[in-house]
Structure 1
């Protein structure tokens, strides 16, 4: 990151308060998933409608939000640090929670991609317990996750290009190589940092939990 970008980032932090950051984050997410903006902002910000409108007025004035009051300008988008993480997430366990909290701590917005059922079978060598839609709903319900998407089977970088993250977070046990991710980002002209996250509970895994549960059931 250049000195000019660092300076601009520092200036942005001084201008924006926490509620304005949340509003910008919600606008970014709603641009991707098409959800109703006003209802989502009300839930996230816990502010009155008048206060939210006043905040948006200020964001428009400072050129973070377009005149339509629902989409980000280039300055607004650059004010956010978006983190992208992915996985199967068939059985949510403490390792997942720690990893996703660590990913969210790297930026302002956390977008999570769950693997399709077909990809899950290839990765885990078994059918997932939950469908891709169920896994998406489960991950979307986690407080640290701003948006959960179902991945693209043929090309993972289609989703990366849609999200355009500043940081791509990899779990401690994910097979993706940093070089593969970096080279793929270059092809879509995305300058993203790849971060490898560590889990304090490496023995936790969905496969192990499923195996132990199955053994306990058979032992009854």
Structure 2
């Protein structure tokens, strides 16, 4: 499969989850004409990667993509986040990032986040390596996992989720996903530390 076809397939996957129209995104990502887009979609339909509607991935089309799922609070985007998300994206074709809800963020960080869940979603969505950002589910993280159906679940160096918990949860929803633990070259970098140091510098002025 050629690169532009893979990109179109990836965008259609993302738009299926978002419930959005893909044409503008395809134009933006591929810089090809409307006629070329139509031709490539027709070819994907002919090769049974897409249903006849030209929008819905078949099982063959979905299996052609490696989807990586990563999650976190992402309250203050710092170099550690960028490195981790770049590493996550390198594992597959599509990177889906789940930001924690405000309530979950408070439980995880023991403080109220500086940015709301919608603001954090917008920030993460603006990062070039991220294909889709979603707000997580408070009651069951595996609802989002089941919606995305990733091949790989990437955990950051500082995430407390145990791999067995993730693996067992995936088995419950009949998902055979690999768990990848990512490393950071700057593990001392964290949103909480940045917020604390910024607060101290303001008080010291």
Matching residue within 135, 140, 148 for 1:163: 148
Distance in 2 of aligned mates of 1:56 and 1:198: 38
User: Number of matched residues?
Assistant: 205
2:33 aligned to 40, 44, 48, which one? 48
Distance, in Å, in 2 between the alignment partners of 1:198 and 1:125 is: 24
Aligned to 1:151: 136
Partner of 1:189: 174
Alignment of 1:218 with 2:203, yes or no, is yes
Instruction: Give the deviation of 1:95 after TM superposition.
Output: 0.2
Structure 2 runs not aligned, ≥5 long: none
CA shift, 1:44, in A, is 1.5
1:123 to 108, 118, 122: 108
Counterpart Cα distance in 2 of 1:205 and 1:18: 36
Tell me, what secondary structure is at the counterpart of 2:29? helix
Determine which of 132, 138, 141 is the counterpart of 2:123.
138
RMSD: 0.5
Deviations 1:22-78 (A, max 9, x none): 000000000000111111111111111111111111111111011100110110000
Of 201, 206, 216, which residue of structure 1 is paired with 2:186?
Answer: 201
* 2:62 counterpart of 1:77: yes
SS in 2 for 1:154: coil
C-alpha displacement at 1:130, in angstroms?
0.1
Gaps of 5+ in 1: 1-15
CA offsets per residue over residues 167-220 of structure 1, 9 Å max, x none? 000000000000000000000000000000000010100000001111111111
Q: Distance in 2 between matches of 1:219 and 1:46?
A: 50
1:61 alignment partner, one of 22, 46, 66 = 46
CA distance in 2, matches of 1:129, 1:46: 37
TM-score by length of 1: 0.92
Normalised TM-score (structure 2): 0.99
Are positions 1:110 and 2:87 aligned together? no
The structural deviation recorded for 1:93 is 0.2
SS of residue matched to 1:76? helix
* Stretch deviating more after TM superposition (85-94 or 42-51): 42-51
- Pair 1:99-2:65 in alignment: no
Moved over 6 A (4+): none
